[in-house]
Amino acid sequence: MTDLLALPESGLADHLAAHVAGFRGPLTATKFKGGQSNPTYLIEAASGRYVLRRKPPGVLLASAHAIEREFRVLGALHGSAVPVAAPLYLCEDPHVIGSAFYLMSHVPGTAQFDPSLPRHTPAQRAQAYSRVLEVLVALARLDVAALGLADYGRPGNYFARQVTRWSEQYRASETDRIEAMEQLIGALPAALPPDDGRIALVHGDFRIDNLLWGADGELLAVVDWELSTLGHPLADLGYFCMALRLPRNPVLPGLAGVDRAALGIPAEDAVVDDFAEATGLDPRPHWNVHLAFHFFRLAAIAQGVMKRALQGNASSEQALAAGRMTRTIAELGAAAMDAGPA
């Protein structure tokens, strides 16, 4: 059986040697585990280590898997207060490996897939979450015009536009009726806070597993910018806190039911308070709606993963399990909406 995600190593090495300064083959490509959307590979070549991200093969939803946008935002952020890998080369020709891809520098860091950080001490966990908050604040403060990203997305009405977009994406990949999603699709448009005109670069999937850490606890890079766009500076904070509310599970692990204080992990209220103090932005009057919105959005993303898994072109072996989380995530969103203001 042909592996649709395998890379043509010899041809790729020749192509990169012709287009990337200093690149020398031969190369070997090893796909990283995880990554439900754009397959990602460690490239080990005679000239060093690199990372390659590609669009998955097959028929894709319109506007999904936008690696070209990832490459652009990496170029804008490299050297800024938000740490990222250095972008090296973008190839939009699908004939080279079967889909568009880009190459970036290899960041010698470690991803932490479990937000409880089981190998850390309480002091190390507190330090890690403090650094996460610093990067969230830095993201919210970025001057998108100075970065050359003023046209990176439509300004204004971010949350309303996202509800429309992800409702459409959900319908395009829907496989079963989920009552909680119907409730969220119906209730969110009228519940969203009014737009205040603030514009920021939004990562779109700011979770603990999209951060790379050094051995000394330094946050080396924020990865996976596929869903990034111009939006509201509160968006990544809401998404990060939403992800921490997920149940304990091996696919999308959260911190539900975990004694955060014993582990040295700050309470959600403390994270929100510190962010508000550092940025002057206060999400608390509409916090339940922020959380409900992000559960809705994550459920729509998970449903897309489910659809690709059923089609056979998802990038992770855990894709089907992730897709099956759609109902649980949507129900958490509906519960957050019903809870009233936090």
Give percent of the chain with pLDDT exceeding 70.
Answer: 93
The answer, yes or no, to whether residue 5 has pLDDT greater than 60, is yes
Give percent of the chain with pLDDT exceeding 90.
Answer: 75
Give alpha helix (H) positions in the chain: 9-19, 67-77, 122-141, 158-173, 179-191, 235-244, 260-263, 268-279, 287-311, 319-323, 326-338
β-pairing, 101-105 vs 229-231, is: unpaired
pLDDT digits (tens, 9 = 90+) for 260-280: 999 999 999 999 999 999 999
Q: Which amino acid is at 153?
A: G
Bridge partners of 202, per DSSP, are 229
Bridge partners of 16, per DSSP, are none
- Which letter, b or e, does each residue of 312-324 get, where b requires 16 or more Cβ atoms within 10 Å of its Cβ? ebbbbebbebbbe
pTM: 0.89
pLDDT digits (tens, 9 = 90+) for 129-165: 999 999 999 999 999 999 999 999 988 899 999 999 9
- Report domain extents, the chain: 9-105, 110-338
Mean pLDDT over 248-256 rounds to 88
Long-range contact list for 58-67, CB < 8 A, 24+ apart?
A: 58/4, 58/308, 58/311, 58/312, 58/313, 59/311, 59/313, 61/169, 61/172, 61/173, 61/304, 64/37, 64/169, 64/304, 65/37, 65/38, 65/226, 66/226, 67/38, 67/100, 67/101, 67/102, 67/226
What fold is seen in the domain 9-105? Phosphorylase Kinase; domain 1 (3.30.200)
pLDDT digits (tens, 9 = 90+) for 210-223: 999 999 999 999 99
Whether CATH 3.90.1200.10 fits 110-338: yes
